[in-house]
Amino acid sequence: MAYKKKSKKQRRQVDTAVAHVRSTFNNTMVSITTTDGDVLLRSSAGKMGFKGSRKGTPYVATQIGATLAREMGALGVKNVEVNMQGPGSGRDSVVRAFQSNGLNVTLLRDVTPLPHNGTRAPKKRRV
């Protein structure tokens, strides 16, 4: 059986990326995509090595943002659009980490889903 030589995987050169920040009370997850939606990088509090209630803190979100900003610098990303989702405390910390590491944040967008009417309320409690 002949051995096929694999071609070396080349890194993409991307100028503008989109950061999707999902911040809950218990965790913060960030994925970096191209403007078309292809995922380039991703990270979360658990991937950084934090466990339990520390995963939802702003400090951990800052660490995630700093790590991703360094990796985005290697890809050639200069401008970042940020989509924030959820009520957690790590939303703003990720954006501050991006800015402090030399990335230009061009757009902040809140994409948290809000129900227009929602589901039916539970029946009243009888005591």
Q: What's the distance, Cα to Cα, between the start and end of the chain in Å?
A: 77
Please compute the mean of the pLDDT values over residues 90-112 and round it to a whole number.
94
pLDDT in tens, 33-75: 999 999 999 999 999 999 999 999 999 999 999 999 999 999 9
User: Whole-model pTM?
Assistant: 0.83
Distance CA 18, CA 81 (A): 5
Q: Give the pLDDT mean for 68-96.
A: 93
- pLDDT tens sequence across 6-40: 776 677 788 999 999 999 999 999 999 999 999 99
Say whether domain 18-110 belongs to CATH 3.30.420.80: yes
Three-state DSSP class for residue 11: coil
18-52 burial, b for 16+ CB within 10 Å, e for fewer?
bbbbbbeeebbbbbbbbeeeeebbebbbeeeebee
For residue 122, the 8-state DSSP code is P
Domain ranges for the chain, please list them: 18-110
